[in-house]
Amino acid sequence: MRKVKAAVAGAVIGLAVLLTPAAAQAEDNGNGNSTCDRYEICFRALESHTRFSVNWNFSHSFYYSYGAHSLIRVYNNDHAWSGTLGNKAIGFWNRDSECRVQILDYDTYGYEWFYADLPRDYRGDAGYSMNDAHKRCNRW
């Protein structure tokens, strides 16, 4: 029978295990430019900081789905400060060539749920506060 489990990881580590993306997506940052270009899926983040008022333009872009924005490091415009994209996105631009894009995160009890479905060519600043992952052409 199962015995009481030893605590082996903190909350952040535990979530990181759950949210680890597939290796195929690990290097995805679109075409590598800091702009949001045609055919990319782009996220804009905003974060207040004691030293910087950071309002990243389109902080990170993708060509594929990605399961853990908490693993994406983004920088402010002069690279003086960085942080994780996480679920800080406040703006989205879906320029994908073929797909709608679902914005996903976990509910209170840890089950994945989608918080938005962005059509092609949609650009907006709606604040879907739960946005730690995204999926292209997803069927659920």
Partner 1 sequence: MASERWSPSTSERRWARLAAAATAALVAALTATACGGDPPAGLGAVDERNPLAVFLGESLGLIDYAQLKLRNECLAGAGYPQNLETMMDQPVPAFSMFVITPRTFGPTTEQEARRIGFGRDEQAEPSPVVSSDPNYDRAIDSCGGKAWDRLGDDVQDAYYAYFDLGNKISGTLMTTISERLDKSLPAKMLACVRAAGYDADDERQFLKTPRPALLGVPFGTVDPAPDTGWRPARKPGTIEVGPAIPARPYRPTAQESELAVAWLRCREQTTLADQQLTAAISVQKELVAKHETSFVELNPRIRRIAKQATELIGTS
Residues of this chain that interact with partner 1 (CB under 8 A) are 1-11, 14-15, 17-18, 20, 22-28, 30-32, 38-39, 63-65, 67, 96-100, 106-122, 126, 128-130, 135-140
Handedness of CA 66, 63, 91, 140 (dihedral sign): negative
Note whether 46 and 88 are within 8 A (CB). yes
* Nearest partner of 126 among 93, 95, 84, 97, judged by Cα: 93
Smallest distance from the beta carbon of 117 to partner 1, in angstroms?
5
Smallest distance from the beta carbon of 138 to partner 1, in angstroms?
6
Q: Residue 14 or 52: which CB sits closer to partner 1?
A: 14
Position 56: which residue type? W
Smallest distance from the beta carbon of 53 to partner 1, in angstroms?
26
